[in-house]
Amino acid sequence: MGKDWQVHAVPSIVANETPAPQTIVIRGRSVLALVIAPQWPLDTWLAALDAQTERSANLFEQRPVVVNLGAAPQGERGPAAALEALVALSARGIKVIGVEGIDPLLMGQTRWSRLPVIPPGRETIREEAPREEGAGMAPVASAPAAPVASLLIERPVRSGQSIVFDQGDIIVIGAVSSGAEVVAGGSIHVYGPLRGRAIAGLTVGAAARIFCRKLEAEMVAVDGRYRTAEHWGPDLHGRAVQVRRDKDVLRISVLD
Amino acid sequence: MSLLNFFRRNRSAPVARDRLQVLLAHERALSGRTDLAKVLQQEILAVIAKHIAIDHDKVIIKLDRGSQVSTLEIDIEIPEATLGAAMVRSAAS
Amino acid sequence: MSKVMVVTSGKGGVGKTTSAAALGAALAQAGQNVVVVDFDVGLRNLDLIMGAERRVVFDLVNVVQGDAKLPQALIRDRRVDKLHLLPASQTRDKDALTEPGVGKVIDELREQFDWIICDSPAGIEKGATLAMRFADVAVVVTNPEVSSVRDSDRIIGLLDAKTARAERGETMEKHLLLTRYDAARAARGEMMKVEDVLEILAIPLLGIVAESPDVLTASNVGCPITLHNPASVVARAYDEAARRLLGETIVVTTPSERRSLMSRLFGRRAALA
C-alpha cells in the first residue's frame, strides 16, 4: 500500500497594483513626571523653589514636569496668575509638559494652549497597535503586572544614573550617589548610604517603603509624597531609616 | 632644600612666555589656512613619487618652529633596490 | 600585552593632562614603550605640557581621516626616547573623531606600544567618551572637593556602562588618583578627607599628589614633572603611582605639611614671578 501524500495548496500571492496604506503605530509610554503645585503669593513660593534648587541642583534637570494650578486665585485674576506661574517656571528652565487642576477652557485662550491639561486620577497607559483591515497585527495590550519581581543591583549607583523598575522592588547593595536616582514600582532597599533620590510606590502606591543604611538623600518619595533633606533635619541625617507613607504624610523612622 | 635652591629665582615664567609667543604667532598666522609645512610635505612627496615608488609608512616628517627660523625635515626610507632601479631608469633616459 | 589607559575626571582643571604626561614619562623611564594621546578636539594641551608644541605637524584627526599615517603624526620625546606623543587636532569639527576611526588607530598603536595613555578632555561629551571607549585601565583624577568628586562619580558610572569593555561584560580596572591635595587645608578641615572621597567613589587609591608650585614650573618649561624635577614630592608621588600600575605594592602615604627650614624661618615662600 502506497503512502498517502497530502498536498497542501499554497495560495499564490498576487502582487497588488496599489501599495497598502501606511499604518501609523501609536504607542503609549509612561514617563515619570514630577508634579509641582505653585502656591500664592507666588513670589514667596518661587523664592522657596529657588532655595530648593540651589540645594539640589539636579532636582528638575531633564525631568518632565506637570504643573498643578489648583491653587491659582479664582475669578478674573485666575488665568493671569496661572500664566504668571508658568512663565516663571519656564524661565527657570523647568520643562513643563502639561498642567492640571485648571479648566482647559481657560488655557485654550492663551499661548499655553498647546499644553495638555491632564485629567485628574491615576492614568495607566497601555501599549496598543491600531486594528486595521488586513494589517495582520494583533493588538498588544500590556496591563501593569502584579509586583512580585525585584531588581538586585550589586554595585554603587553612580551620579547621573537612573534605575527605573516599575515591576517591583529595587535592592541596592552599595551606595546610591548624590545625583543618582532609583525609581521603583514597589519598595526600595539600599544596603548602603542613600545620597541621591529614591522614589518608591509607582505601582503599589502607599504600601511601598524605602529603607537605607544611611540617610543622606536629596529626596525620598513614596506614592507621590516627597521629602527633601531640609524636612528631616540633623537628627535623622546619617541614620539607618525606613520611610513610609502614613495617610497624607511621609514618616521617617530610625531603624536601629 | 639647599640654600642655593632657595635663593635661585625660578625663571620658568619667562620661558613659558617665550614658548607661547612663538607658538601663538604661528597659530594666528595659520588660522584657517593650511599649514605651509603640510603643503610643502605633500608637494615634495608628490615630486619624489614621480621618480621613485614611496611607501608612505616610511616617510617621517619632523618640524621645529622657531621664532626666527623653522626647520622642516623629511626622512624617506628608500630600499636600495628601488633606488638602484630609479637611477638606472634616469641614466637610460 | 599592551594596555590602553584613560586618564579622565569629568571636571576640568583637576590635573588630567599633568598626570597623563607625568605617568607617561615615569612609565617610559621604567622601560615601557609609551604613547600619550591627546583626545581633546579643538584645544590642544598635551603638546604644550610635554614641550612639543613646536614640532606638531599631524594630529589624531589627520590619522583618523587618512591625511597622514601614524608614524608621521607621532612625536618622539627628545629626553626619553621610549616616550611618544600623538597630538590633538585644532579643528572645530566636532564629528572629526569617529569611533571606528579611533578604534583603528588604537589597534595600530597596540602593535607598537606597551602603554597607550589617553588624555581625556573634561566633560562627558564625545572627546571624553571616545577617550575611555577602548580603555583597559582607567585613572580617575579627582581633587578632594565636592564638585570634582561628584563629576568623578559620574565618570565612573560611564566607565562601567559606556565602554567597549563594559559592553562585553568585562570589568575595567579603575584607579583613583587624588590630586592637588593640600595637607594644611585638610588639617584645618577645609578640604575633604581622603577617607571620605574613597568612601564615596569606592575605587582603589592609586596615589595622592600634593598641591605644588612645581607643577606650574614644569608646565611653564614644557617638561613632564617626573622628568623636570624628579626629586620633588609631586614627581615622587607620580613615580610611585606608575610603579603601582606596573604591579608593585607600595603603601600610599598622605602628604603631610612639610616646611623646609628656610620657609619656617622666613615664612611661606612668596609667589614666584
For residues A175 and A248, membership in a common domain is answered with: yes
Q: Where among A79, A107, A135 does a domain terminate? A: A107
The percentage of residues in chain C with a pLDDT greater than 70, rounded to a whole number, is 94
Task: Write down the mean pLDDT value for chain C.
Answer: 91
What burial class does residue A95 get, using C-beta atoms within 10 Å of its C-beta: 0-12 exposed, 13-18 middle, 19+ buried? middle
A159 located within any domain:
yes
Could you give the CA distance from residue B79 to residue B55 in angstroms, rounded to a whole number? 10
Q: Name the stretches of chain A with pLDDT < 50.
A: 1-17, 122-145, 147
Q: Is the ipTM of this complex over 0.90?
A: no
Could you give the CA distance from residue C115 to residue C35 in angstroms, rounded to a whole number? 6
For residues A170 and A246, membership in a common domain is answered with: yes
A91 located within any domain:
yes
Q: What is the pLDDT of residue C272?
A: 37
Q: Does B51 or A194 have the greater pLDDT score? A: A194
Q: Does C184 touch chain B (CB under 8 A)?
A: no
For residues A82 and A177, membership in a common domain is answered with: no
Return the SS3 of B47: helix
For residues A153 and A246, membership in a common domain is answered with: yes
A141 located within any domain:
no
Q: What is the pLDDT of residue B59?
A: 75
Over 60: is that where the pLDDT of B73 sits? yes
Q: Which of these, A201, A202, A239, lies nearest to A217 by C-alpha position?
A: A239
For chain A, the 3-state helix, strand and coil shares in percent, each to the nearest 5, are: 20, 30, 55
Q: What is the pLDDT of residue A4?
A: 44
For residues A161 and A228, membership in a common domain is answered with: yes
For residues A244 and A153, membership in a common domain is answered with: yes
- CATH code: domain of residue A77: 3.30.70.260
For residues A84 and A173, membership in a common domain is answered with: no
Q: What is the pLDDT of residue A31?
A: 66
Return the SS3 of B50: helix
For residues A100 and A169, membership in a common domain is answered with: no
Q: Which of C55, C57, C222 sits opposite B19 (nearest CB)?
A: C222
Return the SS3 of B59: strand
Q: What is the pLDDT of residue A158?
A: 95
Q: Does A78 or C269 have the greater pLDDT score? A: A78
- CATH code: domain of residue A162: 2.160.20.70
User: Does residue C213 have a cis bond before it (omega within 30 degrees)?
Assistant: no
Q: How confident is the model at residue C197 (pLDDT cuts 50, 70, 90)?
A: very high
Over 80: is that where the pLDDT of C34 sits? yes
Q: Where among A51, A86, A107 does a domain terminate? A: A107
A27 located within any domain:
no
Q: What is the pLDDT of residue A120?
A: 60
CA distance between the termini of chain B: 72
The answer, yes or no, to whether C and B have at least 3 beta-carbon pairs within 8 Å is yes
* pTM for the full predicted model: 0.70
Q: What is the pLDDT of residue A20?
A: 59
How does strand C83-86 pair with strand C75-76? antiparallel
Q: How far is CA C86 from CA C10, C64, C79, in A?
A: 22, 12, 16
For residues A164 and A230, membership in a common domain is answered with: yes
Over 60: is that where the pLDDT of C127 sits? yes
For residues A75 and A160, membership in a common domain is answered with: no
**pLDDT per position as a tens digit, C165-176:** 999 989 899 999
For residues A177 and A247, membership in a common domain is answered with: yes
Over 80: is that where the pLDDT of C258 sits? no
Q: How many CB pairs under 8 A join B and C?
A: 66
Tell me the residue range of the domain where A179 lies.
Answer: 149-254
Q: Do A158 and C200 touch (CB under 8 A)?
A: no
Q: Which of B6, B16, B57 sits opposite C69 (nearest CB)?
A: B57
What is the CA C14 to chain-centroid distance, rounded?
10
Q: How confident is the model at residue C273 (pLDDT cuts 50, 70, 90)?
A: very low
Q: Which of A175, A178, A179 sits opposite C202 (nearest CB)?
A: A175
Task: Write down the mean pLDDT value for chain B.
Answer: 74
Q: Does A182 or C268 have the greater pLDDT score? A: A182
A225 located within any domain:
yes
The percentage of residues in chain C with a pLDDT greater than 90, rounded to a whole number, is 78
- Mean pLDDT on C39-50: 92
A23 located within any domain:
no
Specify the number of domains making up chain A.
2
- In chain A, residues with a C-beta closer than 8 Å to the C-beta of C157 are 157-161, 177, 180
Strand A219-222's sheet: what is its strand order? A162-165, A181-184, A197-200, A219-222, A225-228
A174 located within any domain:
yes
For residues A163 and A250, membership in a common domain is answered with: yes
- In chain B, residues with a C-beta closer than 8 Å to the C-beta of C260 are 1, 6
User: What count of other Cβ atoms lies within 10 Å of the Cβ of residue A158?
Assistant: 27
What is the least distance, in Å, from the CA of C74 to any CA of chain B? 9
Chains in contact with B, where contact means 3 or more Cβ–Cβ distances below 8 Å, are C
Q: What is the pLDDT of residue A134?
A: 38
A113 located within any domain:
no
Q: Where among A50, A80, A107 does a domain terminate? A: A107
Could you give the CA distance from residue C213 to residue C210 in angstroms, rounded to a whole number? 10
Q: What is the pLDDT of residue C247?
A: 93
Could you give the CA distance from residue C186 to residue C181 in angstroms, rounded to a whole number? 8
